[in-house]
Amino acid sequence: MKKILPLIIPILLIAAVTIYLNRSRPIEAEGVYSGYAEGDYVYVSCPLGGELQNLPVARGDQVKKGDLLFLLEREEEKAARAEAEETLRESRTRLDKAQMDFNRAKSLRDKRVTSPEDFDSAQQTLLAAQHATAAREQGLEQADWRYDQKERTAPVSGLVYDTYHRPGEWVSPSSPVLSLLPPEFIKVRFFVPESDLGKFAAGLPVQIHMDGLPGPLPGKVSFVSPNAEYTLPIIYSRENRNKLVFLVEASLEPDHAVKLHPGAPIEVHVKAMPHEPGTSGN
């Protein structure tokens, strides 16, 4: 026993020193917060009403910016545009004739072989033709605009999240026909207790976990609400997660960005800011 005691004492001293040093070092604890994925949708509509004639996309399709999304019936707009084009051609023909008559009257006036009244009349006819042509050009621009509005293309690239009308149905003015979910508009929302609020600021890196993903997704805090919420709109926890069911629609690309499904529960892992030795944190 006397031979063993000298060996035990140094070991106990080393263990005590190790425990003390570990307690005095900053600890980087990891906070875990429950939340859900959410997307900001782009609702595509037409300012004019009409019958939905063509809907070449469906839920779950990936579209690129500029792709055709839908087409409303536009026979009336087509006829109005053709009429405006014909009216403008006639107006330009009259303008050309008025311009030639004015040039002739000006030449005769300079030669002093015509009366001032004839020159003034030619000038007034030219001005009237110019105004009429400008009005017809504006009318054609409006007809073109109305015709073009009935054909809607994708304003951004993304997933066709949902459609609200079928071909043959009447679409009211400004009523959404479909919604898009651009990958860059997907975000996560989670809730932290008041005691942890001081750790969060815009730009803080976080790790986002969702069931089914091979690993966490990196993210950054973009907004911290200045107002407290006493009742959470939705609460996801480890205890009730297995009771939640979600409609899954497989869709890959672009760049596997749509990995977070809006409405799906997620966990956000945040490393706490390290504390200085000798200080305490919440």
**68-77 residue pLDDT tens:** 999 999 999 9
Does 234 score more than 70 pLDDT?
Answer: no
In the chain, domain spans: 28-39+183-271, 50-180
Q: How many CA atoms lie within 13 A of 214 on its CB side?
A: 1
Does 242 score more than 70 pLDDT?
Answer: no
30-39 vs 186-190, strand pairing mode: antiparallel
Distance (Å) of CA 151 to CA 47, 48, 57, 175: 11, 11, 13, 14
Taking the C-alpha atoms of residue 31 and residue 237, their distance in angstroms, rounded to an integer, is 14
Q: Tell whether omega for the bond before 254 is within 30 degrees of 0, i.e. cis.
A: yes
The larger pLDDT score, comparing residue 177 to residue 16, is at 177
Does 273 score more than 70 pLDDT?
Answer: no
Tokens of 18: 């190790």
* Band (228; pLDDT cuts 50, 70, 90): low
Give me the architecture of the 50-180 domain, per CATH: Beta Barrel (2.40)
The pLDDT assigned to 246 comes to: 28
The pLDDT assigned to 250 comes to: 26
Taking the C-alpha atoms of residue 97 and residue 125, their distance in angstroms, rounded to an integer, is 10
The pLDDT assigned to 46 comes to: 96
Taking the C-alpha atoms of residue 258 and residue 246, their distance in angstroms, rounded to an integer, is 15
Distance (Å) of CA 64 to CA 159, 167, 253: 9, 22, 11
Taking the C-alpha atoms of residue 124 and residue 40, their distance in angstroms, rounded to an integer, is 58
Arithmetic mean of pLDDT, 44-64: 95
Does 194 score more than 60 pLDDT?
Answer: yes
Arithmetic mean of pLDDT, 34-41: 82
Taking the C-alpha atoms of residue 98 and residue 119, their distance in angstroms, rounded to an integer, is 12
Q: How many CA atoms lie within 13 A of 245 on its CB side?
A: 1
* Band (245; pLDDT cuts 50, 70, 90): very low
The pLDDT assigned to 84 comes to: 96
* Band (50; pLDDT cuts 50, 70, 90): very high
Arithmetic mean of pLDDT, 88-113: 90
Question: What CATH topology corresponds to 28-39+183-271?
Answer: Elongation Factor Tu (Ef-tu); domain 3 (2.40.30)
* Band (239; pLDDT cuts 50, 70, 90): low
Treating both helix axes as pointing N-terminal to C-terminal, what angle do 75-110 and 116-149 enclose, rounded to 10 degrees?
A: 160
